[in-house]
Structure 1
């Protein structure tokens, strides 16, 4: 079964436009440096000009688009050199999020984490690339949400968006996506077992391994 065509976001038309465009930009379906055709995208997404502009303002804050006076709005370039800075922050913040998530006893959050773990354990490696990428993104965002710190969550989501773009740039030279996703299984179990220290160590190893794999890509 295909995971999902998008990481949906509840809320206003601007929220939904933001979520749909964010996914396209993250997965490089809107190519880096390419112009954002507002009227065309607004029609595709079924939203008006105002929600589209609100979405683009948020995406500019996320460093996924950039606007130039009298020139328009463009997808930002993917700068591989940013990996140093992104990884430096993730090495500090991802373990904090994992510890916080492990301490979260909220039954709804735990049910979502359990469902995600079950999906990964039953993962079909033959799923299409987009569905696998979206499952990886969903897993990360769920852990950030479980950390129950909106400032931490927002920062990590933004960093994950940026590193996913770098990943997509070299994905054909990377190990299979399914192998990467399955690394989340032990992490989710540690969180559900309320073992914060193990969760923190596992996510540190995961971030380090992922960065090394990105750097070894031709």
Structure 2
């Protein structure tokens, strides 16, 4: 089995318990390890993740803002459903902002970030995709996008795109079993990462746009 690269986090970044709980729960919801419609029990999650209830509750509040969980009076909190009708709206935003992030990253990324982008590109290029590992491969998609957003050095753009990429990834994960393979979707990142690392803003923008439009076309074929 391929070893999945870790999702990016600055080496000197010390996370609060609330932030760590938020990131872990967010990625469980994105990858559908917590299924759509599943109840969210803060006590159970706190025990499972090794945090106190307070940081988990703070994380859940943030996840509501991200539209990943929803709370109902007297009923409780649940993972949101995946609404395929949102695909067009999500894609419309991403088709504008993903190329912007890629171009900005190509211009602004520092030397250390460019080395990291190339390292991830080399890792993905060396993968031997296995259809049985589709869900694990999708973690590379999250890794690549988050690295590019970070390299763009615009925290407002980064926050916005992470939120929309999270929603897009949930849609993708829900139809994984209907897709013959996601390897092509993942290997597309190699040229994109290298264009960003090389500082080729125009090529990076074009590849980012192609990646997003190809994502929507692939999803629509299986719906």
Partner of 1:103: 107
Structure 2 gaps of 5+ residues are: none
| C-alpha distance after superposition, 1:60-88 (max 9, x if no partner) | 11100011222211101110000111000
Partner of 2:3: 2
Partner of 2:123: 119
Deviates further, 205-214 or 106-115: 106-115
1:58 deviates by 1.0
CA 1:206–1:105 in 2, change beyond 3 Å: closer, same or farther?
A: closer
| C-alpha distance after superposition, 1:29-50 (max 9, x if no partner) | 1111111011111001000111
Which one of 68, 72, 75 corresponds to residue 68 of structure 1? 72
Deviates further, 37-46 or 120-129: 120-129
TM-score by length of 1: 0.94
Q: Distance in 2 between matches of 1:147 and 1:8?
A: 14
Partner of 2:53: 49
TM-score by length of 2: 0.92
Structure 1 gaps of 5+ residues are: none
Q: Distance in 1 between matches of 2:86 and 2:49?
A: 31
1:177 deviates by 1.6
- Number of equivalenced pairs: 217
1:175 deviates by 4.2
1:12 and 2:13 correspond: no
1:2 deviates by 2.0
Partner of 2:206: 201
Secondary structure of 1:172's partner?
Answer: helix
